[in-house]
C-alpha cells in the first residue's frame, strides 16, 4: 500500500455492484473475494442468508446483500462474487454481490458524510457517499451491518 495514503488519512474501498448501484466496502474488513459457489442451505435462519460454504476447511455463513437490502434476488452470473468479511479472529461472513469492479482510494475530502441524523450514525447502513471522478459510491457501514445481523 502506498504510504502517502496513510498520511493523508485515506481509505481504500472495494467497489461492488448491486442492482445497478455502486457500493464501497472498506478494504480493511475484506479477507478474501471468492467466486460464487453453491452454499448449503441452513433451515430456519434469517431470510437473507443463503447458507454456508466451505472455504479451505472453514465453514462460513453467506448472506445475500440484495435480500438484506430488500431488493429482489437475481440469478447468479459469472460475475457474482462472495466477499469474505473478517471482523474478529473467529468471525467471518460471506456477502454475495453482483459484481466486483475495482479498488478505489478515497481521502476524507472525497467522502460526503451522510448526516441525516448525526446521533444515529452507528445505525445507519452507510458511512457516506464517495465521489470518484464522475460517479458516486455508497460506502457501506460494515460494523452497523454486522450489528444489525446480530440482532436479527
Partner 1 sequence: MRSDRYLRLPRPLNDRQGCIKMDLSQYLEIFIDESKEHLQTLNDQVLILEAEPENEDTINEIFRAAHSLKGMAGTMGFKRMQKLTHDLENVFSEIRNKTMSVTPDLVDVVFKSIDAIESYVGNIQENADEGSEDNEEIIALLNACLNGGINAPDIPDEDDEGDVVVIAQPEAPKAAAEAASSPDDEKKKFKKLPLADHEKNAIKEAQAAGKHVFGVTVYIQQTCILKAARAFLVFKGLEAVGEIIKSEPSVQDIEDEKFEFDFSLFIITEKSQADIHKIVMDVSEIEDSFEEEIDLSTAVSTVDESKEEASKDEGTKSDGGKAQPASQGAGGAKKTEKKTEKKAVVNRSVRVDIEKLDDLMNQVSELITAKNGLVSASATVEKQQGFNEQIEYLERITTNIHESVMKVRMVPIESVVNRFPRMIRDLSKKLGKEMELIMSGEETELDRTVIDEIGDPLMHMLRNAADHGLESTLERIQKGKPQMGTIRLDAYQDGNNVTIEVSDDGAGIDVEKVKASAVAKGHITEEQAEFMSDKEAVDLLFRPAFSTAEKISDVSGRGVGLDVVKNKIESLGGDVEVQSKLGEGTTFIVRLPLTLAIIQALMVEIRDEKYAIPLNSIVTVEDVPVTDIKYVQSNEVINLRDMVIPLIRLDEILDSEPKEEEPENLVVVIVKKGDKQAGLVIDNLIGQQEIVIKPLGKYINIPKMISGATILGDGEVALIIDSNTLV
Binding site for partner 1 (CB under 8 A): 39-46, 49, 51-54, 57-61, 63, 88, 90-93, 146, 149-150, 152
All 3 cell numbers of residue 85? 468479511
Q: Which is nearer to partner 1, 63 or 83 (CB)?
A: 63
Q: Which is nearer to partner 1, 41 or 123 (CB)?
A: 41
Q: Which is nearer to partner 1, 17 or 86 (CB)?
A: 86
Cβ at position 97, least distance to partner 1 in Å: 17
Give the Å distances, CA to CA, from 52 to 25, 33, 131, 149. Answer: 21, 15, 34, 15
All 3 cell numbers of residue 127? 458511512
> CA–CA separation, 137 vs 77, rounded Å?
22
Cβ at position 56, least distance to partner 1 in Å: 10
Cβ at position 149, least distance to partner 1 in Å: 5
Nearest 5°: the CA angle 121, 127, 133 is: 150
Q: Which is nearer to partner 1, 44 or 120 (CB)?
A: 44
Cβ at position 142, least distance to partner 1 in Å: 12
Nearest 5°: the CA angle 131, 110, 81 is: 55
Amino acid at each position: 500500500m502506498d504510504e502517502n495514503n496513510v498520511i493523508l488519512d485515506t481509505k481504500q474501498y472495494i467497489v461492488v455492484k448491486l442492482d445497478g448501484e455502486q457500493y464501497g466496502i472498506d478494504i480493511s474488513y475484506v479477507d478474501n473475494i471468492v467466486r460464487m459457489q453453491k452454499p448449503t442451505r441452513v433451515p430456519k435462519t434469517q431470510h437473507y442468508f443463503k447458507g454456508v460454504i466451505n472455504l479451505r476447511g472453514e465453514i462460513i455463513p453467506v448472506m445475500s446483500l440484495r435480500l438484506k437490502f430488500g431488493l429482489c434476488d437475481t440469478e447468479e452470473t459469472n460475475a457474482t462474487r462472495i466477499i469474505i468479511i473478517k471482523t474478529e479472529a473467529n468471525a467471518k461472513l460471506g456477502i454475495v454481490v453482483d459484481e466486483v469492479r475495482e479498488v478505489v482510494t478515497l481521502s476524507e475530502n472525497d467522502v460526503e458524510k451522510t448526516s441525516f441524523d448525526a446521533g444515529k450514525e452507528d445505525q445507519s447502513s452507510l458511512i457516506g457517499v464517495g465521489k470518484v471522478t464522475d460517479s458516486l459510491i455508497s460506502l457501506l457501514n460494515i460494523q452497523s451491518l454486522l450489528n444489525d445481523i446480530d440482532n436479527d
